[in-house]
């Protein structure tokens, strides 16, 4: 059995890398739905259907647990799938599978509080407001998940989201660095104008953006902390697996990389991020749902 890692495209590799560092012996299947990337501007129902299809492929190929290494899918599809679909999958496959997202651990890292914690509303003066900027796809920004969930837990933290409609596609297409740099600078400037100053901390709330985190770091004021989503997810997965021994992550260190798009080597941008050659194989089981959009 194995851990499945799913994203619309290559962004999920930023999470995959942190997961494999934390669990080197586990078996990992990575699936990029490059036939349908980007997800960020799609209607919610499409995101749910595509995410379900990706998880189905990973479950069919031996994953016990799927990590949605995609903020958009985690914000829009995760709860629906957990509540209305996973129980059927368990019955059908006759084994205890599950799907988890990446937003909960990121919010835990940003607030410094466990998910169960909700702040008591006391009123009173807040001495210093900590402003977090979230850069994300339009879908994640429209869900307002970071604003809502952080506000429930920390009254002294304000969240401002900046939707970046073209950035995941540009990273997927390995656009020239100057083009990516201009795009990132434009979004950092737009967000700072809206806040009235630069954010105190930032979340790269789309896994694609971690591939160019150096450009965000350079566009933000010096030493602005980036809340590291891949590490937050890896820390929380290790704890989750310890609590769920019924889910088998495998033990042979297997690493498979699949795409619903064109198989072949990764782009130069991704190869540089990965630190070596990487190739995607054709998706092993093709469910008919994959061709609906």
Residue positions annotated with a catalytic role? 70, 206
- Alpha-carbon gap, residue 272 to 146, rounded angstroms: 30
67-75, 119-127, 190-198, 218-226 -> range binding ligand DGL (CB under 6 A): 67-75
User: Which residues in 69-88 contact ligand DGL (CB under 6 A)?
Assistant: 70-72
Residue nearest to ligand DGL (CB): 40
Task: Kindly state the smallest distance separating residue 172's Cβ from ligand DGL, in Å.
Answer: 8
Instruction: State yes or no: residue 206 binds ligand DGL (CB under 6 A).
Output: yes
Give least dist CB 114 to ligand DGL, A: 23
Is the Cα torsion angle 79, 233, 227, 212 positive or negative in sign? Answer: negative
| 134 binding ligand DGL? (CB under 6 A) | no
The H or E element spanning position 226 is strand 226-227
CA distance 283 to 261: 8
- Does 4 help bind ligand DGL (rule: CB under 6 A)? no
For tokens 């008591």, the residue is 120
Report which of 243, 241, 240, 216 is spatially closest to residue 228, judged by C-alpha positions.
216
For residue 54, state whether it binds ligand DGL (rule: CB under 6 A). no
Rank residues 15 and 89 by Cβ distance to ligand DGL and give the closer one. 15
Using CA atoms, how far residue 28 sits from 6, 17, 25, 39, 51, in Å, is 11, 10, 9, 23, 18
- Does position 133 bind ligand DGL by CB under 6 A? no
Contact characters 248-277, ligand DGL, x per CB under 6 A: ------------------------------
Tally the C-alpha atoms within 13 A of residue 286's C-alpha that lie toward its C-beta: 10
- Quick note: the x/- pattern for ligand DGL over 154-183, rule CB under 6 A, is --------------x---------------
Among 16, 27, 30, 38, binds ligand DGL (CB under 6 A): 38
- For the record, the structure tokens of 212 come out as 């160019």
* CA 281, chain centre distance (Å): 21
The single residue among 3, 5, 7, 19 that binds ligand DGL, judged by CB under 6 A, is 7
Considering only residues 208-247, where is the footprint of ligand DGL by CB under 6 A?
208
In what helix (H) or strand (E) does residue 234 lie, and over which residues does it extend?
A: helix 229-243
Min dist CB 93 to ligand DGL, Å, is 26
Alpha-carbon torsion angle 7, 237, 184, 43, nearest 10: 40
> What contacts 13, CB < 8 A, 6 or more positions away?
7, 30, 32, 69, 211, 270, 273, 274, 278
Stretch that binds ligand DGL, among 53-61, 65-73, 176-184, 273-281 (CB under 6 A): 65-73
Q: Which residues bind ligand DGL (CB under 6 A)?
A: 7-9, 11, 37-40, 70-72, 137, 140, 168, 206-208
């Amino acid at each position: 059995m194995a851990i499945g890692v799913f994203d619309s495209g290559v962004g999920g590799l930023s999470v995959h890398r942190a997961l494999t560092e934390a669990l080197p012996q586990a078996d990992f299947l990575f699936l990029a739905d490059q036939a349908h990337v980007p997800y960020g501007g799609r209607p919610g129902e499409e995101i749910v259907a595509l995410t379900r299809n990706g998880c189905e492929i990973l479950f069919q190929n031996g994953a016990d647990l799927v990590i949605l290494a995609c903020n958009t899918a985690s914000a829009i599809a995760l709860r629906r799938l957990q509540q209305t679909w996973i129980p059927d999958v368990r019955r059908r496959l006759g084994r205890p599978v599950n799907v988890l997202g990446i937003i909960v651990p990121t919010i835990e890292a940003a607030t410094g509080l466990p998910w169960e914690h909700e702040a008591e509303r006391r009123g009173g003066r807040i001495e210093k407001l900590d402003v977090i900027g979230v850069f994300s796809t339009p879908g994640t920004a429209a869900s307002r998940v970071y604003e809502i969930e952080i506000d429930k837990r920390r009254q002294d933290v304000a969240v401002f989201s900046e939707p970046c409609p073209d950035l995941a596609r540009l990273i997927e297409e390995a656009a020239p660095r100057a083009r990516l740099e201009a795009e990132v600078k434009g979004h950092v400037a737009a967000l700072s104008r809206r806040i009235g100053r630069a954010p105190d901390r930032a979340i790269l709330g789309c896994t694609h953006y971690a591939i160019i985190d150096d450009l965000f770091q350079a566009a933000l004021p010096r030493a602005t902390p980036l809340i590291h989503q891949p590490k937050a997810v890896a820390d929380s997965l290790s704890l989750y697996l310890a609590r769920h021994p019924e889910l088998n992550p495998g033990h042979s260190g297997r690493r498979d990389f699949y795409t619903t798009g064109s198989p072949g080597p990764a782009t130069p941008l991704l190869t540089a991020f990965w630190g070596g050659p990487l190739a995607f194989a054709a998706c092993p089981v093709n469910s008919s749902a994959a061709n609906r959009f």
